């Protein structure tokens, strides 16, 4: 009687919901970022199209579709067009294990954290391909910096995430959330403040956001690795960046900020609120702090974040054992 298995239905509904929300997030985030940037610089931001410029991102998206797809002379055509597709390819998959509410996730993946960390590594590959294949010197410099940045920020990120999973004893995001409580003092941020700080700093580097937007660096490298991309090629990189921001903030919410837990309001609302707050924080950071220099970036990571993360993990392991005997 029941021809379609429940799991398959669940996966397809999740896929459609995630695809729709990624599109919406892209549109909303473009508007929010331009509006916040505008007000920080004491100008109104997008204003003319629609009430308070709300329709502006939609017009921008349509405009991007209508623009010619350029490829510079002498570029590698296969790699050049592979790069934007590859940038977006893993994005939907990254949303797969995210628990938005109690039981409200596409699949309960017991290695969800590892899945996200593994597939988010593909983003670097697309930066490298885009910069290399476009036969442009700015692009090449941007790609080289992108790889250096990935080399710098991957390990503190992994170590800070590991500290939480040592406490929870699981790599399942939903399980980590379930162990936390309703009130802010029951969240993991109270026991792991250092890990949270390291995670946020590394996440800024991981998503190529300012002050660590070295691969893009519009004031020195024109647009860095995507200098030669016009129209939709550029649009895909942009959309992938915003989607990656959401994933990073969602993981931070699930691991450190109690996920869907919160008083009075229903769970998914709390989850969205917390993710939005973190996203706003990232936007504020971008428009407040200047870009770090290339060698400063490597020094911040290897001299500060990595030793702190190792010490934090060791202390966590110690206290987990201590709690067992106490």
**Binding residues for other proteins restricted to 229-268, rule: CB under 8 A:** 231-233, 235-236
Q: Which of 124, 127, 130, 171 binds other proteins (CB under 8 A)?
A: 171
As given in the structure block, the two tokens for residue 299 are 């020094």
> Could you tell me the smallest distance in angstroms from the CB atom of residue 210 to other proteins?
20
* Residue 64: half-sphere exposure toward Cβ, Cα within 13 Å: 18
Q: Which of 68, 77, 219, 263 binds other proteins (CB under 8 A)?
A: 68
Binding of other proteins at residue 303 (CB under 8 A)?
yes
> Could you tell me the smallest distance in angstroms from the CB atom of residue 98 to other proteins?
12
Binding of other proteins at residue 298 (CB under 8 A)?
yes
Binding of other proteins at residue 134 (CB under 8 A)?
yes
Comparing CB distances to other proteins, the nearer of 132 and 260 is: 132
Could you report how far apart the first and last alpha carbons of the chain are, in Å? 55
Comparing CB distances to other proteins, the nearer of 287 and 302 is: 302
> Could you tell me the smallest distance in angstroms from the CB atom of residue 110 to other proteins?
9
Place of tokens 């290399």: 132
The CB density around residue 201, as the number of other CB atoms within 10 Å, is 21
Site residues (CB under 8 A) for other proteins, limited to 14-53: 14-15, 18-19, 22
> Could you tell me the smallest distance in angstroms from the CB atom of residue 246 to other proteins?
15
> Could you tell me the smallest distance in angstroms from the CB atom of residue 55 to other proteins?
19
| Residue 263 phi, psi dihedral angles, 5° rounding | -75, 155
Binding of other proteins at residue 222 (CB under 8 A)?
yes
User: Distances from the Cα of 264 to the Cαs of 164, 183, 188, 269, 270, in angstroms?
Assistant: 26, 11, 20, 10, 10
Q: Interface with other proteins by CB under 8 A: which range of 49-57, 62-70, 196-204, 272-280?
A: 62-70
Residue 218, SS3 per DSSP: coil
Q: Interface with other proteins by CB under 8 A: which range of 29-37, 159-167, 244-252, 258-266?
A: 159-167
CB proximity list for 158: less than 8 A, separation 6 or greater:
117
Residue 101, SS3 per DSSP: strand
Q: Interface with other proteins by CB under 8 A: which range of 64-72, 196-204, 212-220, 262-270?
A: 64-72
Beta bridge partners of 104: 101
By CB under 8 A, the count of residues binding other proteins is 84
Residue 104, SS3 per DSSP: strand
> Could you tell me the smallest distance in angstroms from the CB atom of residue 317 to other proteins?
5
Contact 152, 297 (CB under 8 A): yes
User: Distances from the Cα of 10 to the Cαs of 15, 17, 92, 126, in angstroms?
Assistant: 9, 10, 15, 30
Q: What is the DSSP string of 11-76?
A: HHHHHHHHHHHHHHHHHHHHHHHHHHHHHHTTS--S-SSSGGGTTHHHHHHHHHHTS-----TT--
Binding of other proteins at residue 144 (CB under 8 A)?
yes
Binding of other proteins at residue 93 (CB under 8 A)?
yes
> Could you tell me the smallest distance in angstroms from the CB atom of residue 312 to other proteins?
10
> Could you tell me the smallest distance in angstroms from the CB atom of residue 258 to other proteins?
20
| CA diameter of the chain | 69
Site residues (CB under 8 A) for other proteins, limited to 103-132: 106-107, 109, 114-115, 132
Binding of other proteins at residue 88 (CB under 8 A)?
yes
Binding of other proteins at residue 162 (CB under 8 A)?
yes
Binding of other proteins at residue 90 (CB under 8 A)?
yes
């Amino acid at each position: 009687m029941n021809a379609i298995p429940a799991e398959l239905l669940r996966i397809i509904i999740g896929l459609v919901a995630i695809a729709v929300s990624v599109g919406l997030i892209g549109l909303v985030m473009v508007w929010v970022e331009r509006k916040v940037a505008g007000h920080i610089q004491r100008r109104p931001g997008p204003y003319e199209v629609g009430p308070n410029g709300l329709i502006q991102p939609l017009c921008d998206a349509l405009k991007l579709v209508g623009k010619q797809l350029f490829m510079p002379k002498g570029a590698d055509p296969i790699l050049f067009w592979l790069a934007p597709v590859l940038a977006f390819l893993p994005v939907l998959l990254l949303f797969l294990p995210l628990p938005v509410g109690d039981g409200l996730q596409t699949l309960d993946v017991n290695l969800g954290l590892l899945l996200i960390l593994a597939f988010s590594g593909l983003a670097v590959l697309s930066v490298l391909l885009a910069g290399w294949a476009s036969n442009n010197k700015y692009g090449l410099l941007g790609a080289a910096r992108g790889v250096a940045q990935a080399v710098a920020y991957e390990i503190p990120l992994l170590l800070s995430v590991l500290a939480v999973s040592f406490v929870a004893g699981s790599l399942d995001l939903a399980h980590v959330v379930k162990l936390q409580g309703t009130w802010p003092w029951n969240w993991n941020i109270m026991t792991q403040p250092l890990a949270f700080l390291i995670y946020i700093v590394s996440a800024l580097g991981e998503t190529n956001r300012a002050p660590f937007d070295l691969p893009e660096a519009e004031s020195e490298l024109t647009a860095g690795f995507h200098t030669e991309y016009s129209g939709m090629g550029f649009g895909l990189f942009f959309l992938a960046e915003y989607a990656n921001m959401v994933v990073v903030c969602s993981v931070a919410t699930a691991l450190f900020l109690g996920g869907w837990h919160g008083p009075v309001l229903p769970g998914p609302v709390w989850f969205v609120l917390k993710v939005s707050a973190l996203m706003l924080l990232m936007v504020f950071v971008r428009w407040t702090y200047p870009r770090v220099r290339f060698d400063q970036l490597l020094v911040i990571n290897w001299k500060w974040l990595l030793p702190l993360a190792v010490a934090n993990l060791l202390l966590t392991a110690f206290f987990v054992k201590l709690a067992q005997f106490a």
